[in-house]
Structure 1
């Protein structure tokens, strides 16, 4: 029916969007109008009157263009808001994760240097650590804000090293308080390293868990991106179809 085709083309004349999607919307609208015309003809109306009444029930060109325009705008605003939120959480989370990992990498390098420096200090020590060397080790620990404690064990000629470490006192120990709140995400951790004479434990502050916490932001952003994609793919058409159908009923 030419009149219906002209009406539909006029309604969608100035709408921008996916051509395939608009074509599907036009087809769906035409089907609804044809169904309405068919029902009206069954009631005894002529084809001309049935087409006119169906279009009038639809609301006319001006009204339907307003309805479709509002639906398009609402969908676009909501999808844009989802996209902005998802992008914000993703970028923020990646930024925080990157900063934390950068800090932790620097801290790890610093701990390894301290451990190596202590090993060098102990390289010519066979049994007892002199006051002078103890002072040098203390200075190394005081020169950083991330190490809380150092424990040095003499493991020379020890056959069961790990049992010895668990049951014996260190040859030298130095401890100080550093900022390390006891939470799930910032805490003190202990790592060990040694050679055939000395074993060194260093207790340090770590924020590794904060990096994993920041990844929750990424996990939160992914569903938003998914919803945004679904809306772009289906929401516009389904909402408009339902609205058109309600206008005809």
Structure 2
């Protein structure tokens, strides 16, 4: 393979995985701006030295490994300056977590890496990565419980999500299938968190429903669900910090809900 072809292949691999690195960075830091800043720094580091792609098991692992090395080298920073209210509470919770557990949990549950791949990314063994996952699951799920509202038009999926959320110890305030029903439900039983599909039964938008609810009731954590995440991970507009891809796994739902409740993320989309 020539250098030109090699560079082209690497660029194609980065382009395909970059939206998901940005999703991970955003979930890790809690907002789009800081997450994108780390993603840009990662790309700059790769451009300066492409040898990492020859040393890793896959281009995707290499991309996340470079990100993690930067994240760790900077002390896994979370800006506490001026943090008040939900932000201040999130920083306090973060300070109590076992080191590296949140990263491992996101890499596995949201991005789908195996424990061996996580070990490669984080420079630990696969067994150590598995231990971090177990610790992370336990700490996140116990960190905060609350009332969760579900916006989902498919009955089977709504029931499945409801059972997962309830099994975590949360209370489900109800299930809404349309934007109008969602807003009415939120007024009747204000939720601590919203878990919303993007496309609803009457062709209305889950994004619009969430934005209307937050405008009326105030900020609260949100997790969006969609079969087409690439349509939302464009960087052209504010993006959700937590995004589950359909078809989802139970582990993904548990992780996203726990992360969102824990970090009190309120990033939403402008429709």
The structure that has the greater radius of gyration is 1
**Given the two structures, how large is their TM-score scaled by the length of structure 2?**
0.21
Q: Which has the higher contact order (CA 8 A, sep 6+)?
A: 1
Higher helix share: 1
TM-score (norm: length of structure 1): 0.22
